[in-house]
C-alpha cells in the first residue's frame, strides 16, 4: 500500500492535518455515505400478542412442535389450544371470564384447555393480559350429541354448528357413528373432551363353585345372582380430528344387568347394576381405573336398583330401588368401607313399582327429586297384567294407585326428609328427568291415554284422531318443563313420538332419544323411526324401527352431551 504524504511546506501544519484525518477516520466521521442507525435495545417485556391459535385435540401433547400436531379447525370443550405469540408466557389466560391454568409448550408457545359448559351458539373470547396490555381472540365451539342405539350396536353422533338453522350440522346427522356391542349407557368425562360408553359384551352363568370362591374372597359384588355381565367401557376421544375415535377399552364385570351411570365433580364414576355397582376413577380421563365394588341389599331376590346420584359434593350416594319403591343413602367418603346411613320406602302401601328416576335439585347439593308414576321401563308379563287392571279401574285400591309426581327429598344430619310434591299431568307416563341450567326440572314421557294397557297396543281410534290432528297440537310424546318452586308446568316439546332419555344443552334446550311415529288413517297406520330430538331444531329420523318398539318394555337409547 502506498504511503500518503502531505507536504504543506510547513512541517508543523502538516502534522496537525495528518493527526486530524486519523482521528476522524477512527471516529467514523467520514464526510461521505449514510450514517448507521442506532438500534434500540430489545424489550424484555411488553403487551401480549397472539400470532396463532391451533386446536390439537383433548389428549395432552407429548412433543413441542405445534406444526406437527393434528388439527381439524374445530374447537371442542375439553380440547387443548396451542397458542403462539409474544410475551404470552407471563400473561393471564381467560376464556369468557374463566381463568385458565396455562402450560408451557415451547418457546413463545403455551397450552390452555377449553373449559366445559360453553355455549354451542355464542361467540367466545380468549383474553391474554399482563401489566402492559391485553390481546384477544374470538372463536366458536362445536359440541357433540351422542346417542346409544342398543338394537343396532352403535353410537350415533350429531354435531352442533352455530351458523346453521337450529344449530345442528346436517351433514353429521346421518353419517357419524361408532360400533359397540349392545351400546347401552354413556357419560361425558369431567373435561368434556371424552365420552365413556358402556356396552354389554356377554352374559354368562356363574358356577356355584366360582360364586363360593368369589364370596369367600369378597370379589363377588352381588352374591346370589349366579350371573356375570361382562361390560365394555370404551373411552372415546371427542376432539379427535374429523370425528370421534375410540382410544381405550376396559372390561368390567358386574353380576347384574347394568342400569345407569353417574359421575361426581371429583372424577369418580359409578356404574350401577340391578343388584351391585362399581366405582371407577376417571380423574386420568384416558385411562379409567376400577376403584371398588359394592354388593347392594337384596332380600327378596327381585330387587332392581335403577338409578344413582351423588350428593353433598360426592360425600354421599343416593340409590333408587324400584320393586319396593325404596331410597337408600350411602356414605362413600371411604370407598373401601361404604356405609348405608339411611333408607326409606316412598310408597309404603304400594304393591307395584312406582319410582321411575331420581334427579338432582338445581340449587342444593343435598336435595334431590324422585320421579314417580307407572314405570314402563321395566314392564314384564306380571306387571303388564297388573297395570292393565289398574288402568282400567278394576283394581283401584290404595296399594295399586298410580301417582304421577315429583317428590323432593333432603339428606340432612343423617336423615332422609321428604319435602314438597309436584303433581304431573294425569295419565302422563314418565321415563326420565333432569335438572336444567335454568333451574327448571325436565321430564320425558307420553300420554298414557293412547296406550291400551290390556293388550299393550295403541288405541287405534285415538291414533286415527291423532294423525288427523295438526302436528303441533298432538301431545303423544312430551317433554315437560317444571318450575320446582311454583310447580308451573310447560310443554317444552310435544308431538308424534315416544320421547325417552334426555339431557339439556344450553341454548339448544332438551335433547332426547326417541321413536318417531308417522302414519295415516288406513293400514298399516303407523311407521316407526328411531332417532334424536333437539328442541332447537326438531327431530332426526336416523333408522327404521319395529312397530313393537313403541310398546313397553322400552329400549330406546341414552343421550350424552359434550
pLDDT in tens, 76-126: 999 999 999 999 998 999 999 999 999 988 778 999 999 999 999 999 999
In this prediction, residue 335 carries a pLDDT of: 92
Exposure class string for 251-286: b at 16+ Cβ within 10 A, else e: ebbbbbbbbbbbbbeebbbbbbbbbbbbbbbbeebe
Average pLDDT over residues 352-380: 90
Residue whose C-alpha cell is 389428549: 59
Q: What is the grid cell recorded at 530? A: 328411531
pLDDT digits (tens, 9 = 90+) for 542-552: 998 877 776 76
- Average pLDDT for 396-410: 78
Q: What is the pLDDT of residue 123?
A: 98
Contact (Cβ atoms closer than 8 angstroms) between residue 511 and residue 538: no
Which of 358-372, 504-518, 548-562 shows the lowest per-residue confidence on average (mean pLDDT)?
A: 548-562
Band of the pLDDT at 70, cuts 50, 70, 90? Answer: confident
Residues in a beta bridge with 271: 261, 278
CB neighbour list of residue 154: distance below 8 Å, 6 or more residues apart: 148, 177, 178, 179, 180, 183
Per-residue pLDDT reduced to its tens digit, 503-523: 999 999 999 999 988 765 445
DSSP code at position 35: P
More confident residue, 470 or 526: 526
Q: Tell which phi-psi region holds residue 502, choosing left (phi > 0), alpha (psi between -120 and 50) or beta.
A: beta
Distance between CA atoms of residues 539 and 533, nearest Å: 4
Over the chain, what is the mean pLDDT?
A: 84
Share of the chain above pLDDT 90, in %: 63
Q: What is the mean pLDDT of residues 278-296?
A: 97
Phi, psi of 167 (to 5 degrees): 70, 25
The yes-or-no verdict on residue 457 having pLDDT over 90 is no
What DSSP character marks residue 372? E
pTM: 0.85
The helix or strand, by DSSP H or E, that contains position 533, with its residue range, turns out to be strand 526-534
pLDDT, residue 394, reads 56
Tens digit of each residue's pLDDT (9 = 90 or more) over 247-266: 999 999 999 999 999 999 99
Q: Nine-digit cell at 266?
A: 371429583
Percent of the chain residues past pLDDT 70, beyond the cut: 78
For residue 23, what pLDDT is reported? 39
CA distances from 493 to 75, 93, 375, 498, 502 (A): 30, 39, 21, 11, 12
Handedness of CA 18, 24, 30, 31 (dihedral sign): negative
The pLDDT score that the predictor gives to residue 403 is: 84
Please check whether residue 556 is in contact with residue 513, taking contact to mean a CB–CB distance below 8 angstroms. yes
Q: Does the structure show a pLDDT above 80 at 469?
A: no
The pLDDT of residue 470: 39
- Give the neighbor-by-neighbor strand order of the sheet with 245-254: 183-188, 194-205, 227-237, 245-254
DSSP string, 179-207: E-TTEEEEEE-TTSSEEEEEEEEEEEE--
Cα Rg of the chain, angstroms? 33
pLDDT of residue 9: 45
At 381, the pLDDT band (50, 70, 90 cuts) reads low
Split at pLDDT 50, 70, 90, the class of 501 is very high
pLDDT for residue 410 is more than 90: yes
Amino acid at each position: 500500500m502506498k504511503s500518503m504524504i502531505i507536504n504543506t511546506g510547513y512541517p508543523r501544519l502538516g502534522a496537525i492535518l495528518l493527526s486530524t484525518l486519523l482521528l476522524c477516520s477512527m471516529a467514523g466521521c467520514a464526510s461521505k455515505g449514510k450514517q448507521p442507525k442506532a438500534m434500540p435495545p430489545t424489550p424484555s417485556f411488553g403487551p401480549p400478542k397472539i400470532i396463532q391459535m391451533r386446536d390439537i385435540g383433548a389428549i395432552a401433547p407429548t412433543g413441542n412442535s405445534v406444526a406437527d400436531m393434528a388439527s381439524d379447525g374445530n374447537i371442542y370443550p375439553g380440547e387443548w389450544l396451542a397458542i403462539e405469540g409474544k410475551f404470552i408466557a407471563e400473561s393471564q389466560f381467560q376464556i369468557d371470564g374463566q381463568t385458565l391454568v396455562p402450560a408451557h409448550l415451547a418457546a413463545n408457545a403455551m397450552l390452555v384447555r377449553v373449559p366445559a359448559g360453553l355455549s354451542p351458539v355464542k361467540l367466545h373470547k380468549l383474553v391474554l393480559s399482563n401489566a402492559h396490555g391485553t390481546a384477544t381472540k374470538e372463536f366458536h365451539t362445536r359440541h357433540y350429541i351422542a346417542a346409544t342405539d342398543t338394537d343396532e350396536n352403535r353410537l350415533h353422533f350429531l354435531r352442533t354448528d352455530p351458523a346453521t338453522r337450529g344449530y345442528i350440522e346436517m351433514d353429521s346427522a346421518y353419517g357419524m357413528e361408532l360400533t359397540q356391542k349392545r351400546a347401552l349407557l354413556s357419560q361425558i368425562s369431567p373435561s368434556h373432551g371424552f365420552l365413556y360408553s358402556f356396552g354389554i359384551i356377554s352374559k354368562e352363568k356363574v358356577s356355584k363353585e366360582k360364586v363360593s370362591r368369589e364370596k369367600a374372597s369378597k370379589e363377588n359384588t352381588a352374591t346370589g345372582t349366579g350371573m356375570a355381565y361382562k361390560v365394555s367401557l370404551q373411552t372415546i376421544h371427542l376432539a379427535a380430528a374429523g370425528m370421534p375415535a375410540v382410544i381405550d377399552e376396559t372390561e368390567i364385570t358386574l353380576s347384574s344387568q347394568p342400569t345407569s351411570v353417574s359421575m361426581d365433580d371429583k372424577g369418580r364414576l359409578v356404574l350401577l347394576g340391578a343388584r351391585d355397582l362399581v366405582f371407577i376413577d376417571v380423574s386420568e380421563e384416558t385411562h379409567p381405573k376400577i376403584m371398588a365394588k359394592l354388593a347392594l341389599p337384596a332380600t327378596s331376590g327381585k330387587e332392581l336398583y335403577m338409578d344413582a346420584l351423588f350428593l353433598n359434593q360426592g360425600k354421599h350416594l343416593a340409590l333408587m330401588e324400584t320393586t319396593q319403591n325404596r331410597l337408600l343413602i350411602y356414605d362413600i367418603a371411604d370407598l373401601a368401607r361404604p356405609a348405608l346411613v339411611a333408607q326409606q320406602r316412598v310408597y309404603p302401601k304400594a304393591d307395584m313399582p312406582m319410582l321411575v328416576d331420581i334427579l338432582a335439585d338445581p340449587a342444593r347439593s343435598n336435595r334431590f327429586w324422585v320421579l314417580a308414576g307407572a314405570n314402563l321401563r321395566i314392564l314384564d308379563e306380571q306387571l303388564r297384567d297388573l297395570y292393565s287392571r289398574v288402568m282400567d279401574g278394576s283394581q283401584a285400591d290404595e296399594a295399586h294407585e298410580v301417582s304421577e309426581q315429583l317428590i323432593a327429598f333432603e339428606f340432612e344430619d343423617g336423615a332422609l326428609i321428604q319435602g314438597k310434591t309436584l303433581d304431573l299431568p294425569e295419565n302422563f307416563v314418565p321415563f326420565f328427568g333432569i335438572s336444567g341450567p335454568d333451574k327448571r326440572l325436565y321430564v320425558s314421557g307420553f300420554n298414557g291415554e293412547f296406550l291400551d294397557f290390556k293388550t299393550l297396543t295403541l288405541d287405534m281410534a285415538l291414533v286415527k284422531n291423532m294423525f288427523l290432528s295438526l302436528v303441533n297440537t298432538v301431545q303423544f310424546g312430551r317433554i315437560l318443563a317444571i318450575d320446582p318452586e311454583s310447580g308451573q308446568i310447560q310443554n317444552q316439546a310435544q308431538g308424534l313420538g315416544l320421547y325417552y332419555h334426555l339431557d339439556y344443552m344450553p341454548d339448544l334446550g332438551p335433547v332426547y332419544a326417541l321413536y318417531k311415529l308417522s302414519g295415516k288413517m288406513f293400514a298399516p297406520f303407523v311407521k316407526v323411526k328411531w332417532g334424536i330430538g333437539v328442541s332447537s331444531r326438531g327431530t332426526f329420523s336416523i333408522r327404521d324401527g319395529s312397530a313393537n318398539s313403541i310398546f313397553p318394555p322400552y329400549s330406546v337409547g341414552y343421550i350424552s352431551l359434550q
